[in-house]
Chain A
C-alpha cells in the first residue's frame, strides 16, 4: 500500500515536503492506520507523530487523512483509498512531521473555564443532579480534545486567537447547561463579542469530522439561543 506523508523538520528542512512510503499490507487486513504508521516508523525512525491509547480515547493522533481530519488509531486502512495522503492537522504550527503545536487550541479551551463553578452553599455530601439534568450533558462530555474539529473549521483558521472554535464551544455549552453550575450569566457575558461564538458560520466541518460523533454546531446554536434569551 502506498503512502504519501508530510515531512518537516524545522532544524534541517527549509520547506515541508511529501515523502512516499510503501508498506506490505496483507489482503483483507483489519489494520488501523496507526498500526501502519508504527510499521512505517520501524522502516524510517525519523518519522514523527503522536499517539498513546491506540483506541480513540486519548485524542493524541488527530491528523489529516486523505483530506479529512480523523484519528489514525480508529481509521481502518481498508476504508482508505491508496495512495493514502497524510498531513498534520491544518491551521496549527507544525513542530515536526505530523506533530503540531496545540497551544492555541488549549488556550481557547482554557478561556471558557472548563470546570464546574458553583458559588452556592456546598452540600454536606455531594452536588446532586436529577437524571434528566444529567442527560443534558450527553453528547458533550465525551469530547476527547483531539482538535480534529477546530482545525477543520475555516473560522478557526482565520481567527484562532479570537474564535473559541467548535471544541471549546462544545465544552462551554457543557458547563452552561450543567444544572450545578451557578455562573451561567457570567459565562454567557464572556462569549458575547463579535468573535468567540458568532464567528461560527455553520459550515459544519466540525460535525463532519468529529471521531466521537459529537455535534458542536448544535451546541453553538444552543449557546446562541441562550445569548439571545439573556440579551433581549
Chain B
C-alpha cells in the first residue's frame, strides 16, 4: 500500500484508480458508438424497436457495464477534483459522500430500469 490511503476513494491504489478510469472510458465510448450506430442505421426509431433492443440480454449487460463505467469514472474523477480544489476537509468530505450516494442511487435505479423490476 502507498503512503496515502483514503477511505472515500473507489480504487485500492493509484494504479487501480488509473486503470478503472481508462477501462471505463473505453466502455463508455464503445456504448456511445454502438447506440449512435444503432440510431443512425435504424430507418424508423419507434417504441417497439427501442424496446426490442433493450429486451436482449446483450443490451442489458452492455448497458449495465456502461452504467457501471459512468459511475466508476465519475466517482474517481470527482474524488480527484475534490482533493485538488477543496482544501477544507469538511466541505470535501460532504462533497465526496454526496457523490458516492448519487452514484449508488444511480446504480440501483439503473438496474431497476434495465430489468424493469
Chain A residues at the B interface, C-beta cutoff of 8 Å: 111, 155, 158-159, 162, 189-199, 224, 227-228, 231-232
Contacts and interface: CB of A to CB of B under 8 A. Distances in A.
A213 B102 CA distance: 46
A111 to B, nearest CB: 7
Given A158-B83, A193-B1, A195-B83, 6 more contacts: A189-B2, A190-B3, A191-B2, A193-B5, A195-B2, A231-B15
A194 B85 contact: no
A159 B16 CA distance: 20
B13 A159 contact: no
Contacts of B1: 189, 192-193
Contacts of B9: 194
Nearest to B83: A159
A198 B15 contact: yes
A88 B17 CA distance: 35
B34 interface: no
Contact of A192 (B13, B80, B83, B85): B13
Looking at A162, A193, A224, the one whose CB has the most chain B CB atoms below 10 A away is A193
A198 B6 CA distance: 14
Interface of B: 1-6, 9, 11, 13-19, 80, 83-85
A196 B18 contact: no
A159 B84 contact: yes
Contacts of A196: 2-4, 14
A194 B15 CA distance: 7
Contact of A193 (B3, B19, B84, B85): B3
Contacts of A111: 3
Contacts of B6: 194
Contacts of A194: 2, 4, 6, 9, 11, 13-14, 17, 80, 83
A158 B84 CA distance: 5
A31 to B, nearest CB: 40
B20 to A, nearest CB: 12
A193 B18 contact: no
Given A155-B84, A158-B85, A192 B4 contact: no
A9 to B, nearest CB: 27
A220 to B, nearest CB: 12
Contact of B2 (A155, A190, A228, A232): A190
A227 B11 CA distance: 15
A192 B1 CA distance: 7
A228 B3 contact: no
A162 B4 CA distance: 8
B33 to A, nearest CB: 25
Contacts of A190: 2-3
A196 B3 CA distance: 8
B78 to A, nearest CB: 13
B66 to A, nearest CB: 23
A231 to B, nearest CB: 5
Contacts of B19: 228, 232
B17 A198 contact: yes
30 contacts: A158-B83, A158-B84, A158-B85, A162-B3, A189-B2, A191-B2, A191-B14, A192-B14, A193-B1, A193-B3, A193-B5, A193-B13, A194-B2, A194-B4, A194-B6, A194-B11, A194-B17, A194-B83, A195-B2, A196-B2, A196-B14, A197-B14, A199-B80, A224-B15, A227-B14, A227-B15, A228-B19, A231-B13, A231-B16, A232-B19
